[in-house]
Amino acid sequence: MATISSYHLALKEGTTTVRKTVEAFLARIAETKDLNAFLAVYADEALERADTIDKKIASGEFGRLAGVVVGIKDNICYQGHGVQGSSKILDGFESLYSATAVEKLLSEDAIIIGRLNCDEFAMGSSNENSAFGNVLNPLDKTRVPGGSSGGSAVAVAADLCHVSLGSETGGSVRQPASFCGLVGVKPTYGRVSRHGLLAFASSFDQISPFAKNVEDAALITEVISGGDDFDSTSSSKEVPDYSPKPLEKKKFAYLKDCVESDALDATIKARFLEVVEKLKADGHTVDAVDFPLLDHLIPTYYILTTAEASSNLSRYDGMRYGYRSEKATDLESTYKLSRSEGFGPEVKRRIMLGTFVLSAGYYDAYYAKAQRVRRLLKNTTDELFSEYDMILCPTTPDVAFKFGENSEDPIKMYLEDIFTVLANLVGIPAISVPMGDKNGLPFGIQVMANQFKEAQMFAGAKHITDNCNK
């Protein structure tokens, strides 16, 4: 169905059932195993739940997501089901509880159909870092789907579920959304509980949805948002109605430094400027603004996130759960060998980087300085929002690249996040919506709003998709 609302209308009219829908998705998943999107499919459980929800629909008492089929990234806990962060280090681990976001989906009668492949512990921009192999972009199987939530993006793009959950640390939903022609949302930091999300960088991480349209993305975000006693960083602010409203005349800024960057593809730049002119023609104010700290975004992001990753991933030691090396002979060798064999190269690289920037003699030079730069970035962004309602920016510098194209150069791979990390560094909401294509490969535009202004962000994104893509 085109939208969740049209799907619900079909269910009410009896032209389809939840069971038929789940059966169709399961058949589609079986047909597309080569995409490697799913690590586990909960077929029997999904069908049983579908029958239960069909009965609820017949009785007239059902939740807002009745029968909506959802895939979840392999770093989001679901009680009684495996969760591994697509890593060998958590081999065979089964979650003892569900993430708060998952519980909220289930309480509204959604169906979890399976868990989805991702870059190991959400560290990557291409989904080439999974212990379970690459996820393929369904639009061109020689190209990456983006990362780290590549499986979550592909599951929606390839019609394997209605919507999916990924996680955002530095663009891990918006960048795959851009590469796969989807809508991807990064909520305000603290808007969605992190309880039940395997931690990568705790001051950045947010569970975030993929959808095929702004309306569905807004509904899923609204359902999973809200305070949570299990997450002290979650906000208790009231969650408003996020369904996109008609957009009144607004003031948009776009980051001139991003649009004029040599890294930005010419086709994307031209299309972005077309959108800017269309917004102006619609009566909105759109100004180019300077953002002189652009060159500091990637260094600041990778210093802070690797430091937090070094701390968060220290719990995976081969002692309490998950993988333990068979070569270990004593306590020290158990730690060393289990972590060396259990983690992949990119995770080990980031742990070592994080340990280095936190070490004695380097803490002030790197970590403390990066925190000060983060504060400057927040101040600069706040100044922009004192004058403008929303900020526009291309989502990615180019379309999806081929497998192996950036693998030998970590710096080149890290620069794939250059346009997305700002929202994570300063904790604001951002959404990527499809903006155009280059040789049949999609790319997106980002709409960023001030903290807890998701409703305005969704309205802006809806206006762009409806009025600037004609």
List of residues 6+ apart from 58 with CB closer than 8 A = none
Residue 124 CB contacts under 8 Å (≥ 6 apart), including other chains: 147, 148, 346, 413
* Total count of residues recorded for the chain: 470
Q: What torsion do the CA atoms of 11, 14, 15, 16 make, to the nearest 10 degrees?
A: 50
CA distance 53 to 63: 9
For residue 196, give Cα distances in angstroms to 4, 73, 231, 367: 26, 12, 9, 27
Task: Tell me if residue 307 falls in helix, strand or coil.
Answer: helix
As given in the structure block, the two tokens for residue 207 are 């569970």
Beta strand spans in 32-118 (E): 38-41, 69-73, 111-116
Kindly state the helix (H) or strand (E) to which residue 350 belongs, with its residue range.
helix 345-358
Q: Are 104 and 195 in contact (CB under 8 A)?
A: no
Residue 192 CA neighbour count, 13 Å, CB half: 32
Instruction: State the catalytic residue, choosing from 95, 125, 148, 225.
Output: 148
CB 109 within 8 A of CB 62: yes
Residue 437's contacts (CB-CB under 8 Å, 6 or more residues apart) are 181, 399, 443
Amino acid (1-letter code) at residue 68: V
Catalytic site includes residue 369: no
Q: Is 250 a catalytic residue?
A: no
Our answer to whether residue 107 is catalytic in this structure is no
Q: Are 172 and 130 in contact (CB under 8 A)?
A: no
Q: What letter represents residue 172's amino acid?
A: S
Q: Which of 73, 104, 186, 250 is catalytic?
A: 73
CA distance 421 to 439: 27
Catalytic residue among 87, 130, 172, 193, which? Answer: 172
Which residues are annotated as catalytic?
Answer: 73, 148, 172
